């Protein structure tokens, strides 16, 4: 039997729309789908129209009619990204179609592709030189290319053809405004309204003009006019809502925001409305909108980020973390999700868990302001002040006028001991935003640290006037009162602050200090005991009680309480330090050092405590062991300023490693530029190296910062003498002997004075 090979006919049956049409004739199929798409479009069923037009294009990707219909459907469905692509493809397939060229040109204009938009306009003008729409497109593209005079020329050509077109005058107004000619711009926008007083577009254009030149009341009138002409006009309602928000008429913003939310097919308007409700503390309404949008894939992350904020603010941290984890499951380094989760963890004092998230956010977006800000906050909570300052400085490089970051960096500099930098930053922040409370409070604290009590008092009064019930402001007033030795006033301030923040250990600490200052340690203990009755095992409260026992002179109870603190919180380093100080006061140096060594065992990277143990070895005369311990500290933390200073001085006293000693002293001075001991070390090493002219400036800082220390005057006198300035040498050496006739080095000072 002879086999006859027959052609293999494959008919792909696609589930859904394709199943209804035979694939035997692609030409018939594509036209049927296009006709179906057109029918849906006319019924305003744009998603269905999009499906049908796309089916037609599967049969023939160059089917111009379907391509243009698809662009129109995307446009009406507010899908600008897809409409943009389809209009350009349609215009390329239909070079003679004026509408297609103009639509493509407008989308190119919106995408800032001005040269391409200009080319589309010129194509239309070749066949239709009097096309007003083409002239306007050409004018706007020319304006985008910064040829404003050329833009005016094209728009004026359109006006010469038909001076009755309202939209043409609106376009002229936009170009005149770009030229900086506000008078002619206003005239053009007003003419647009006169020509078509029923046009919401013309009213909106005039309102936008007034808003841009900060004539807000005029803007509001015309925005309301535009909405009155077309209550459902989304751009007009968006502009009216922005006006109400900008002028702090928050309640009135709701109505136009609801129009934007529910009369636009895009979900972004509903997200803005959810944000509005959240800001107005109408949390249930905000949550309802977000839950309704949960299944919209286009806003998957946006919805969950907002839900996380809502849940966390309601105390539902588990639900908040779940929402963020859903985002991070799709994108491990999602910047906003990482920052939010890191921020929430910091709020719960979970610093170690927050750090990798914040670092991942920076990996995902190196210029993420939020990531750098909260990473700086995390480092500060760890006591890593240099790292914190670096992150806050990065934020200010990205956003130089960010006042909250200025305030945070000022506070960090204050904690680093760089008082002058703290004051400068706090002043900069208050100048930029006078009503930002943290900046003024940091300024008060920095001024107190600088000894400028009078100015600190003035700034504290500003805080009290503007923020009378702010707990931190009341605490600042209490600190000023303490500096003025007004213990009664300080006590009243801290008592008020305690009422506002009853669980604040810092406030209670201030109240206790005020009571002790008044000589009423008993009242201080009463205040602590009242808190301990509610929180008997709170390590911070127990630590305060230990301080009160110290003020009462009851060292037995102090020791017992400090041991309770350590038992309740083995990681409480200040408690170890206080216990070590207690043993030092008892002249039990070995027991004190054992306490500090216990801290080192628990926290081997704690350069501060390791430095203390090295200092104790130094005090005990164990210089070699002290040198080894200082060297170990600096091996782990090259920027440990105190260790660098002390090791430099030990090297200098031994007359060895002076070059290394100089480098160490310079490191210490960079970290602690205003500390007299550090400047004295640096100056003394310069002196030993035979560089008296370099020694004098840091030694002058030491004398200025520590005028009652005879050693500083003595070293400065030696440097002056080495330079040959006998008068200044005599004055410095004489002041050293006046301050303390028998200080270490006094005999050498007298010999040198005699020789001078």
What's the DSSP call for residue 492? H
Most confident among 287-301, 374-388, 608-622, 624-638 (mean pLDDT): 287-301
Establish if 647 belongs to a structural domain. Answer: no
- Residues contacting residue 235 through CB under 8 Å, at least 6 positions apart: 204
Residue pair 358/339 in contact (Cβ under 8 Å)? The answer is yes
Calculate ∠ Cα 108-112-117, nearest 5°. 40
What's the DSSP call for residue 743? S
Task: Report how far apart, in Å, the C-alpha atoms of 500 and of each of 62, 251, 469, 532, 579 are.
Answer: 72, 29, 8, 18, 32
Please tell me the predicted confidence (pLDDT) of residue 4. Answer: 34
Please tell me the predicted confidence (pLDDT) of residue 593. Answer: 66
Please tell me the predicted confidence (pLDDT) of residue 606. Answer: 61
Instruction: Look at 87-91, 170-174, 298-302, 700-704 and tell me which has the smallest mean pLDDT.
Output: 170-174
Establish if 261 belongs to a structural domain. Answer: yes
Nearest one of 679, 735, 670 to 707, comparing CA atoms: 735
Please tell me the predicted confidence (pLDDT) of residue 149. Answer: 82
pLDDT band at 333 (very low <50, low <70, confident <90, very high): confident
Q: What is the spatial distance between Cα 243 and Cα 207, in angstroms, rounded to a whole number?
A: 10
Q: Which helix (H) or strand (E) holds 36?
A: helix 26-42
Quote the mean pLDDT of the chain: 83
- Both tokens assigned to 638: 């090259």
Arithmetic mean of pLDDT, 457-462: 91
- Residues contacting residue 503 through CB under 8 Å, at least 6 positions apart: none
- Report whether pLDDT(21) > 50: no
Arithmetic mean of pLDDT, 554-573: 73
- Report whether pLDDT(407) > 90: yes
- Residues contacting residue 187 through CB under 8 Å, at least 6 positions apart: 173
pLDDT per position as a tens digit, 627-643: 888 888 888 878 777 78
Calculate ∠ Cα 501-535-539, nearest 5°. 95
Q: What is the spatial distance between Cα 677 and Cα 659, in angstroms, rounded to a whole number?
A: 19
Establish if 231 belongs to a structural domain. Answer: yes
Please tell me the predicted confidence (pLDDT) of residue 599. Answer: 58
Q: What is the spatial distance between Cα 745 and Cα 348, in angstroms, rounded to a whole number?
A: 54
Residue pair 398/375 in contact (Cβ under 8 Å)? The answer is no
Q: What is the spatial distance between Cα 711 and Cα 95, in angstroms, rounded to a whole number?
A: 91
Cα 39–chain centre separation: 52
Please tell me the predicted confidence (pLDDT) of residue 458. Answer: 92
Please provide the DSSP assignment of 614-662 as one string.
HHHHHHTT-HHHHHHHHHHHHHH-TT-HHHHHHHHHHHHHHT--HHHHH
Q: Which helix (H) or strand (E) holds 215?
A: none
Q: Which helix (H) or strand (E) holds 545?
A: helix 539-552
Q: What is the spatial distance between Cα 637 and Cα 650, in angstroms, rounded to a whole number?
A: 19
- Report whether pLDDT(335) > 80: yes
Cα 708–chain centre separation: 43
Arithmetic mean of pLDDT, 87-96: 87
- Report whether pLDDT(16) > 50: no
Q: What is the spatial distance between Cα 275 and Cα 531, in angstroms, rounded to a whole number?
A: 39
Q: What is the spatial distance between Cα 87 and Cα 96, in angstroms, rounded to a whole number?
A: 14
Q: What is the spatial distance between Cα 170 and Cα 143, in angstroms, rounded to a whole number?
A: 14
Most confident among 4-13, 289-298, 580-589, 620-629 (mean pLDDT): 289-298
Please tell me the predicted confidence (pLDDT) of residue 229. Answer: 93
Establish if 621 belongs to a structural domain. Answer: no
Please tell me the predicted confidence (pLDDT) of residue 99. Answer: 86
Establish if 199 belongs to a structural domain. Answer: yes
- Taking only Cα atoms into account, the Rg of the chain, rounded to an integer number of angstroms, comes to 37
Please provide the DSSP assignment of 345-383 as one string.
HHHTT-HHHHHHHHHHHHHH-TT-HHHHHHHHHHHHHHT
Cα 372–chain centre separation: 7
- Both tokens assigned to 571: 């990681």
Cα 729–chain centre separation: 51
pLDDT band at 570 (very low <50, low <70, confident <90, very high): low
Residue pair 477/507 in contact (Cβ under 8 Å)? The answer is no
Establish if 188 belongs to a structural domain. Answer: yes
Instruction: Look at 22-31, 143-152, 622-631 and tell me which has the smallest mean pLDDT.
Output: 22-31
Residue pair 627/650 in contact (Cβ under 8 Å)? The answer is yes
- Report whether pLDDT(70) > 60: yes
Please tell me the predicted confidence (pLDDT) of residue 746. Answer: 86
Q: For the chain, what is the largest distance between any 2 Cα atoms, rounded to a whole number of angstroms?
A: 137
- Report whether pLDDT(283) > 50: yes
Q: What is the spatial distance between Cα 423 and Cα 409, in angstroms, rounded to a whole number?
A: 11
Instruction: Look at 84-88, 155-159, 312-316 and tell me which has the smallest mean pLDDT.
Output: 155-159
Establish if 576 belongs to a structural domain. Answer: no
Residue pair 560/570 in contact (Cβ under 8 Å)? The answer is no
Arithmetic mean of pLDDT, 144-150: 80
pLDDT per position as a tens digit, 586-623: 666 666 666 666 656 666 666 666 776 777 777 677 88
Burial class (CB in 10 A: 0-12, 13-18, 19+), 391: buried
Helix, strand, coil percentages (3-state) for the chain, rounded to 5, are: 80, 0, 20
Please tell me the predicted confidence (pLDDT) of residue 13. Answer: 33
Establish if 248 belongs to a structural domain. Answer: yes
How many Å from the N-terminal Cα to the C-terminal Cα in the chain?
Answer: 134
- Report whether pLDDT(406) > 90: yes
Q: In b/e form, how buried is each residue of 427-448, taking b as 16+ CB within 10 angstroms?
A: bbbbeebeeebbbbbbbbbbbb
- Residues contacting residue 152 through CB under 8 Å, at least 6 positions apart: 139, 172, 175, 176, 179
The CATH number linked to 205 is 1.25.40.10
Instruction: Look at 249-258, 567-576, 646-655 and tell me which has the smallest mean pLDDT.
Output: 567-576
Please tell me the predicted confidence (pLDDT) of residue 590. Answer: 67
Nearest one of 236, 232, 177, 238 to 202, comparing CA atoms: 236
Instruction: Look at 20-29, 165-174, 714-723 and tell me which has the smallest mean pLDDT.
Output: 20-29
- Residues contacting residue 378 through CB under 8 Å, at least 6 positions apart: 342, 346, 351, 354, 355, 358
Please tell me the predicted confidence (pLDDT) of residue 425. Answer: 94
Residue pair 120/91 in contact (Cβ under 8 Å)? The answer is yes
- Both tokens assigned to 620: 């005990």
Provide, rounded to the nearest whole percent, the portion of the chain with pLDDT above 90. Answer: 25
Residue pair 71/103 in contact (Cβ under 8 Å)? The answer is yes
Please tell me the predicted confidence (pLDDT) of residue 134. Answer: 77
Between 149 and 72, residue with greater pLDDT: 72
- Report whether pLDDT(543) > 90: no
- Report whether pLDDT(402) > 90: yes
pLDDT per position as a tens digit, 422-449: 899 999 999 999 989 999 999 998 888 8
- Report whether pLDDT(571) > 70: no
- Both tokens assigned to 446: 């920095």
Q: What is the spatial distance between Cα 359 and Cα 378, in angstroms, rounded to a whole number?
A: 11
- The SS3 of residue 315 is coil
pLDDT per position as a tens digit, 503-530: 676 777 777 777 777 777 677 777 777 7
pLDDT per position as a tens digit, 107-130: 887 778 888 888 888 888 888 888
Helices and strands counted in the chain (H then E) = 43, 0
In 10 A of CB 452, how many CB atoms? Answer: 16
Q: What is the spatial distance between Cα 668 and Cα 657, in angstroms, rounded to a whole number?
A: 16
Please tell me the predicted confidence (pLDDT) of residue 177. Answer: 80
Q: What is the spatial distance between Cα 622 and Cα 612, in angstroms, rounded to a whole number?
A: 14
Please tell me the predicted confidence (pLDDT) of residue 589. Answer: 63
- Both tokens assigned to 356: 């990798």
pTM over 0.85: no
Domain count, the chain: 1
Q: What is the spatial distance between Cα 247 and Cα 211, in angstroms, rounded to a whole number?
A: 11
In 10 A of CB 146, how many CB atoms? Answer: 10
pLDDT band at 684 (very low <50, low <70, confident <90, very high): very high
Residue pair 34/52 in contact (Cβ under 8 Å)? The answer is yes
Residue 221: domain span: 180-266
Nearest one of 516, 514, 575 to 540, comparing CA atoms: 575
Residue pair 75/83 in contact (Cβ under 8 Å)? The answer is yes
Please tell me the predicted confidence (pLDDT) of residue 393. Answer: 93
């Amino acid at each position: 039997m002879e086999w006859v090979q027959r052609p293999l006919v494959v008919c792909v049956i696609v589930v859904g729309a394709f199943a209804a049409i035979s694939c035997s004739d692609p030409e018939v199929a594509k036209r049927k789908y296009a006709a179906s798409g057109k029918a849906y479009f006319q019924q305003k069923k744009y998603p269905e129209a999009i499906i049908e037009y796309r089916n037609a294009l599967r049969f023939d990707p160059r089917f111009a009619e379907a391509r243009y219909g698809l662009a129109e459907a995307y446009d009406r469905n507010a899908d600008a990204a897809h409409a943009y692509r389809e209009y350009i493809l349609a215009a390329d397939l239909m070079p003679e179609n004026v509408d297609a060229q103009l639509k493509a040109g407008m989308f190119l204009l919106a995408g800032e592709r001005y040269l391409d938009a200009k080319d589309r306009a010129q194509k239309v003008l070749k066949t239709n030189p009097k096309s007003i729409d083409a002239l306007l497109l050409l004018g706007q593209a020319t304006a985008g290319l910064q040829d404003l005079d050329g833009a005016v020329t094209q728009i004026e050509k359109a006006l010469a053809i038909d001076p009755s077109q309202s939209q043409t005058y609106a376009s002229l107004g936009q170009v005149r405004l770009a030229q900086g000619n506000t008078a002619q711009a206003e005239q053009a926008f007003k003419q647009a309204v006169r020509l078509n007083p029923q046009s919401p577009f013309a009213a909106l254009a005039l309102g936008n003009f007034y808003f841009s030149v900060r004539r807000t009341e005029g803007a509001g009138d015309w925005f309301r006019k535009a909405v009155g002409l077309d209550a459902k006009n989304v751009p007009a309602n968006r502009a009216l809502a922005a006006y109400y928000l900008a002028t702090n008429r928050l309640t009135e913003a709701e109505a136009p925001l609801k129009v934007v939310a529910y009369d636009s097919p895009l979900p972004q308007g509903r997200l803005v409305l959810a944000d509005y409700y959240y800001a107005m503390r109408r949390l249930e309404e905000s949550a309802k909108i977000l839950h309704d949008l949960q299944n919209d894939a286009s806003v998957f992350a946006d919805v969950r980020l907002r839900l996380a904020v809502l849940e966390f603010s309601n105390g539902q941290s588990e639900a908040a973390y779940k929402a963020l984890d859903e985002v991070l499951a799709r994108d491990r380094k999602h910047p906003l999700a990482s920052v939010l989760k890191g921020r929430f963890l910091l709020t719960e004092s979970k610093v170690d868990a927050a750090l990798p998230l914040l670092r991942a956010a920076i990996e995902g977006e190196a210029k993420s302001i939020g990531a750098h800000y909260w990473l700086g906050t995390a480092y500060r909570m760890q006591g890593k002040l240099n790292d914190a300052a670096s992150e806050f400085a990065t934020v200010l490089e990205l956003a130089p006028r960010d006042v909250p970051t200025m305030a945070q960096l000022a506070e960090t500099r204050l904690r680093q001991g760089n008082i002058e930098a703290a004051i400068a930053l706090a002043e900069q922040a208050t100048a930029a935003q006078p009503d930002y409370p943290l900046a003024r409070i940091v300024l008060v604290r920095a001024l107190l640290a600088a000894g400028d009590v009078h100015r600190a008092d003035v700034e504290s009064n500003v805080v009290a006037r503007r923020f009378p019930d702010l707990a931190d402001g009341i605490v600042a007033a209490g600190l000023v009162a303490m500096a003025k030795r007004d213990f009664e006033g300080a006590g009243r301030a801290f008592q008020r602050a305690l009422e506002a923040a009853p669980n604040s250990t810092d406030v209670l600490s201030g109240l206790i200090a005020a009571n002790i200052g008044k000589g009423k340690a008993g009242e201080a203990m009463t205040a602590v005991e009242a808190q301990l009755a509610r929180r008997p095992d709170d390590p911070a409260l127990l630590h305060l009680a230990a301080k009160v026992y110290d003020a009462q002179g009851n060292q037995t109870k102090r020791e017992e309480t400090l041991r309770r603190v350590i038992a309740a919180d083995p990681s409480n380093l200040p408690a170890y330090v206080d216990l070590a100080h207690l043993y030092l006061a008892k002249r039990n140096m070995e027991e004190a050092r054992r306490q500090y060594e216990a801290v080192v065992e628990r926290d081997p990277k704690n350069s501060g405590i390791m430095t203390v143990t090295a200092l104790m070895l130094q005090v005990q005369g164990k210089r070699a062991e002290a040198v080894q311990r200082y060297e170990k500290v600096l091996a782990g933390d090259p920027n440990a300023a105190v260790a660098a200073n002390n090791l430099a001085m030990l090297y200098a006293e031994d007359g060895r490693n002076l070059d290394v000693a100089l480098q160490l002293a310079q490191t210490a001075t960079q970290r602690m530029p205003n500390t007299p001991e550090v400047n004295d070390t640096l100056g003394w090493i310069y002196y030993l190296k035979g560089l008296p002219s370099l020694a004098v400036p840091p030694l002058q800082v030491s004398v200025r910062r520590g005028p009652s220390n005879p050693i500083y005057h003595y070293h400065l006198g030696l440097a002056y003498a080495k330079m040959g300035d006998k008068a200044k040498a005599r004055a410095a050496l004489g002041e050293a002997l006046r301050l303390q006739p028998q200080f270490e080095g006094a005999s050498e000072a007298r010999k040198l004075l005699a020789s001078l």
